[in-house]
Amino acid sequence: MGQDDRVIHYTNETIHGMKTNYNSNKTQELSLDVLVVSDFLTYQAFLEMTNGDSHKAVHDLKVYLQAVFDQVKIIYDGISFNNETLHMVFAGTYISTQERDCPLWLSWAEDEEERVLNEEIRRLEEDESRWNSTVEDEEFMNTTALDSNSTEQLISSERRKKLRKFVDVTLEEMQENNSTEMALKMDSKKAVDKFTIWLKEQQGLPRHEHAVLITKFDLISINGNSATQGMAYVGNICENGDSSSVVEDIGAGLTSLIVAHEIGHSLGALHDGAYESADCDSNDNYLMAVAVSGSADHQSFLNSRKMSNCSINSIIENLKEPTASCVKKWKTKGSEKNAQKDFMKKPGETVNLARQCQIAFGPTFKPCLRLMVPIAVIICGASKAFAFRTPRNGWTAKT
């Protein structure tokens, strides 16, 4: 052995000391990297708003998706989990500018083709039956109808069983006030399934721990209800592909509320009033209420950006699971947190009132400033002066 050679002996004690010294300069915090994905229909909506300018459409859509995320971040910054804040980190965006890139489009096209084919088969069978039948037995026909109904109930029951690990959210106020129907519909459970598969198959997506798809598809519940506005897996945070949610884009602050709600499900919270959250009343309008409502009542409005104790406790318990370890990260002590926070524009500054009306209802809508009242809503109207209301909740200020 040469004079300059050194041999360093490591023991359990020296290794423990090294770990202690390393960790003494670190602190653990809760954070979640969120990827925001836009589907092809959402891109088309922005393309229409920009008069076919694809570059401006992509730019404006990125600004919008960032603004939606920023509002979600503001909501979670105001929630305490055992005196800790769960920081939302923007992982980036993915915009589907072509049909073939859209996570849901091919699925919808296949379903639509199957629906048309089945409808044609049914029509041909009816025509054949009409030609072949000379006598109609009324009792037999009634029995057949009863059997058909029983089959439908059996299928519905099976679908409910499969849907136990999913939860959706409806939006009361938008259903009451927004008469605009989205042209394309999709089963909400299938939408989450397809998005999950798409995430697992994609290469080169920004690194993330949860992905949310913003879509212009009208999400339909298992009962055929169009009021469903979002769906997610429950308690599957950090799991590749399964840590995901699908949210119907209804414009501005309400879309942000639903995104925050669905992320809450992925973190482990169920609806208030259900199962382990039975002690918390959904009517209190907290973030994890069954139906999100942009109420004009001040306290109800504030509650919509908070979580009930039941939701907070459910998330705290779920974060103890090894599968949720990605949320806990080591950070260097004294490092600047959110250094750009005070210099960043608020969501309402990047997406103005006019654009919020267009996103929610279409390119011909604009804010009716003379009808605005000092509550957290925007009143939008078209050329026929028919007014709609969409909450602007929190888009211009932190709540």
Query: How far apart are alpha carbons 252 and 214 in whole angstroms?
Result: 12
Query: Is there a catalytic annotation at residue 262?
Result: yes
The C-alpha atoms of residue 395 and residue 349 are separated, in whole angstroms, by: 8
Do the annotations mark residue 59 as ligand-binding?
A: no
Residue 265, annotated ligand binder? yes
Both tokens of residue 212?
A: 């949310």
Residue 172, Cβ density class (10 Å: 0-12 exposed, 13-18 middle, ≥19 buried): middle
Other CB atoms closer than 10 Å to residue 367's CB: what's the count?
A: 20
Q: Rounded CA gap, 193 and 384, in Å? A: 40
Task: List b or e across 253-263, with b for residues whose CB sees 16 or more CB atoms inside 10 angstroms.
Answer: bbbbbbbbbbb
Reduced to 3 states, what is the DSSP secondary structure of residue 329? strand
Say how many Å lie between the first and final Cα of the chain, rounded. Answer: 69
Q: Is 366 exposed, middle or buried (0-12, 13-18, 19+ CB in 10 A)?
A: middle
Phi and psi angles of residue 295, each rounded to the nearest 5 degrees, phi first:
-65, 145
**Distance between CA atoms of 61 and 42, rounded to whole angstroms?**
8
Q: Which of 125, 138, 262, 276 is catalytic?
A: 262
Instruction: Answer yes or no: are the C-beta atoms of 382 and 361 closer than 8 Å.
Output: yes
> Using alpha carbons only, what angle is made at residue 20 by residues 18 and 24, rounded to the nearest 5 degrees?
120
The structure tokens listed for 222 are: 């298992």
Residue carrying the six token digits 């004009």: 296
Q: Is 210 one of the annotated binding-site residues? A: no
Q: Are 356 and 378 in contact (CB under 8 A)?
A: yes
Distance CA 229, CA 250 (A): 8
Tokens of 75: 């909501």
Q: How far is CA 158 from CA 110, 153, 220, in A?
A: 22, 9, 17
Task: Mark the binding-site residues, compressed into ranges.
Answer: 261, 265, 271
Residues designated catalytic:
262
User: Which residues participate in the annotated binding site for Zn(2+)?
Assistant: 261, 265, 271
